[in-house]
Chain A
């Protein structure tokens, strides 16, 4: 997030696109609701009538994968009607004319054709966002999990810059990060192209710095992403994998392919708290401590680094992941001693010394409360709002992007679009939440949401079992008929391994961000006779 969670209370308007905030980020969702009740305007763009849509001034039900057209359409109207922040555009940005030239053709009528949203709603949304200041944009995986996810984020940034909503309280471009420490895992270099602190592995100066810190030459070749690793395992290029705290055999796209890939590995290590679906394929399984059983830090969606404190002992012989990693690395290293850490705090001290954004962060400081990075020195209070007065690159650059349709469009054989997501009561592959009895009571099984207009001709009644098939696989799920969803679209979550929706999804990747397109898969639905 460019801004802070607390900041959202100051927004005069929200554009929430591709985020079912009250279910996925409930505390932020409640904050939005409070702000709306106090008078803030709310525009929701989502193919489903999510809870927030019920209290929105405008609900734009776009077709999955048409977000760029919508965002360009909003920019088009705002420019045409002269509602943009001319001073901000002149003083703090570049590339306006190029962007303007591209969005010129995205008239409300043209956008209505691509998105299925009435032209007058597009105009009303544009006026609402442009005339309520500050306005915050919130988005999540509904935006990024498309083959065009990276370009859509650019389109969001264009809209925010156009209206001068960056570097201001209550504004911003605010991606809501999905997992407790997905922000931190990225910050710490758990990515194939960057060292900790987003320092490029291909940059010789940065690499030399890391080589000095770690005392060894390092590879300059960016590595493979998750889905690329699965492909490499499938083709036999990748021979061994060490997987910590992940369950790709439920969470990754195109599961039949993933299973085949993992089976082809010569050696697979799983480090987890449960015997997951993926663990069943492992050669060695290492029992890890859960969050309450170890010390460390998580970084949240607003870049706040916070302490995780040990409260109980791990069960049996399970150990904190940091101890397991150190023990393995010590065996691999020539200098075993370099992997002996006496505490999690000592690891943070080492990481902070080479991660500019974390330079001023230590466990000791965090005892008094979390700190938002960038925090460049021990006396720096942290940063609540990014891009205040100046963008990190100097001028904010408008990036003109064209609408890109999903890789797999519905056709005669697979006439519906499946979009996947999450629900409040469960979490990811369910290895944690399925072991909480009350959560299973509240949401015992997967339900496929389908509009009555689509269900009727298929003879599907509420509660029927349906077979959902894509070009890659099939699953059966119970049917929930609801007009909350756009006709032509069906919705499922990936929380239930027994209804593994990722058997259906496509491993089509965004060319830059390498995110799979979970949000648009062409499927065919038929009734299962009982």
Chain B
């Protein structure tokens, strides 16, 4: 164990960086480039702290603790240095928080607020990039990029795709694909890991724009409906509709990572094509009710009430069973449905019909 003091408080820790030990002990140090899912980078200089005996301020995210170390995380010198960094960042950042998609969920905005940076003393060139909306799902507003490189690191460290990197040098540096192409012309797989770690509004979910602020939405953690990996994610809900999927970092299966279908493939939920009312073949309805029934949008089918539809199902299955035996009925369960539903439908087949003709698309 290593013993050190942070802000005068004696702390024992097995090792790690100043940032890790501080966080573990409830001491908050602001960061922009650091992210729990990524290796420390030391790019943003926001986490600077005072280490006694050290000539200059040190980045807490990369500086390892040592025996007897004395750290100050909130000294006037530290706060002044952080404010200076924020003033620099603000000098080349749009001030359109009113309409920015990330307003209220922006780590830069939170720090600008916390450090009371109202104006920036720095004047000079501003980056002017057009909004890059050439791709589906991922909207890139590079004027809002603070060069923390989280997106580049996520693409590299989590997804191992390396579709984006820093192109050019100096003031012209920019996060982009090689040759600044569309993402779809690169090896990008549209997993959106870059969006999930972006601290500002530089990378956002295109289809969610204007759909709801973070405080207007609620999050429900659930399991992805696509492949068998079983990733977890948070459905973001506003007014009874899903407006976005965001990473849930606490799950052991995917640890926040998602693929293009998991993160962006939710729109089918609110498709106008969803079935919303039971349907019966027109002739079957007439047989049951003696009327023509209410026409549906599907040719040959009328809209039915649940009672009639369920009665017709029961009658149809029982007729087959009574005329040709239980094995004249076949039932398909579903790998898309829940365990509980699969349990029930096989119980229905076995207990109520009396057949083991129950299978699903496991083989397909």
Contact = CB atoms under 8 A, between A and B. Distances in A.
Interface of A: 5-6, 22, 24-28, 30, 33-34, 37, 144-145, 176-193, 195-196, 201, 210, 214, 216, 218-219, 221-227, 229, 232-233, 237-246, 248, 251-253, 266-267, 269, 272-275, 280, 282-288, 290-302, 304-313, 315-322, 324-329, 331-333, 341, 344, 347-348, 350-351, 369-370, 424-425, 427, 431-433, 435-439, 441-442, 513-516, 518
Given A188-B342, A344-B340, A427-B261, A304 B230 contact: yes
Given A5-B229, A195-B350, A311-B242, A187 B339 contact: yes
Interface of B is mostly: mixed
A271 to B, nearest CB: 9
A224 B330 contact: yes
B290 interface: no
Given A298-B338, A311-B222, A351 B312 contact: no
Nearest to A182: B335
Contacts of A184: 335, 338-339, 342
Given A26-B259, A176-B229, 18 more contacts: A37-B160, A179-B226, A180-B228, A188-B342, A189-B347, A189-B350, A195-B350, A214-B351, A283-B281, A302-B230, A308-B222, A312-B241, A312-B242, A327-B310, A432-B225, A433-B265, A435-B273, A436-B267
Given A251-B361, A348-B339, A307 B310 contact: no
B332 A284 contact: no
Question: What band does the interface of chain B fall in when counting residues whose beta carbon is under 8 Å from A?
Answer: 35 or more
A6 B255 CA distance: 10
Contacts, number: 477
A324 B275 CA distance: 14
Nearest to B353: A332
Contacts of B280: 283-285
A487 B260 CA distance: 31
A246 B334 contact: yes
A185 B251 CA distance: 22
Nearest to A384: B252
Interface stretch (B12-20, B40-48, B183-191, B194-202): B183-191
B319 A432 contact: no
A155 B191 CA distance: 35
B277 A317 contact: yes
Contacts of B319: 240, 266-267
A318 B235 contact: no
A164 B142 CA distance: 52
B69 to A, nearest CB: 31
B273 A241 contact: no
A288 B275 contact: yes
Contacts of B223: 180, 291, 297-298, 300, 306-308
Contacts of B304: 284
A240 B359 contact: no
Contacts of B270: 315
Contacts of B274: 273-274, 287, 290, 315-316, 318
A329 B222 contact: no
A283 to B, nearest CB: 5
A425 B191 CA distance: 10
B275 A272 contact: yes
Contact of A242 (B252, B317, B347): B317
Given A226-B360, A296-B338, A370-B253, A237 B346 contact: no
Nearest to B237: A311
A308 B273 CA distance: 23
Given A177-B228, A183-B228, A242-B317, A275 B298 contact: yes
Contacts of A178: 227-228, 335
B253 A290 contact: no
Interface in B190-241: 190-191, 206-207, 220-232, 235, 237, 240-241
Interface of A is mostly: mixed
Contacts of A196: 343, 346
Contacts of A183: 228
A100 to B, nearest CB: 31
B278 A321 contact: no
Contact of A435 (B260, B267, B312): B267
Contacts of B261: 424-425, 427, 433, 439
B66 interface: no
B336 A435 contact: no
Interface stretch (B3-11, B120-128, B321-329): B321-329
Nearest to A280: B298
A189 B310 contact: no
B309 A240 contact: no
A443 B309 CA distance: 38
Contact of B320 (A144, A266, A319): A266
Contact of A285 (B137, B301, B310, B348): B301
A164 B267 CA distance: 46
B136 A180 contact: no
B338 A218 contact: no
B339 A283 contact: no
Contact of B331 (A24, A242, A248): A242
Nearest to B220: A311
B16 to A, nearest CB: 21
B361 A351 contact: no
Given A284-B280, A288-B275, A329-B348, A425 B260 contact: yes
A179 B227 contact: yes
B177 interface: no
B344 interface: yes
Contacts of B321: 240
A308 B338 contact: yes
A242 B339 contact: no
Interface string B292-310: 0000001001001010011
Contacts of B346: 188-190, 195-196
A331 B321 CA distance: 14
Interface in B252-274: 252-254, 257-261, 264-271, 273-274
Contacts of B364: 226, 251-253, 516, 518
A348 B222 CA distance: 17
A344 B240 contact: no
B363 A516 contact: yes
B340 A297 contact: yes
A513 B363 contact: yes
A211 B314 CA distance: 23
Contact of B313 (A242, A295, A347): A242
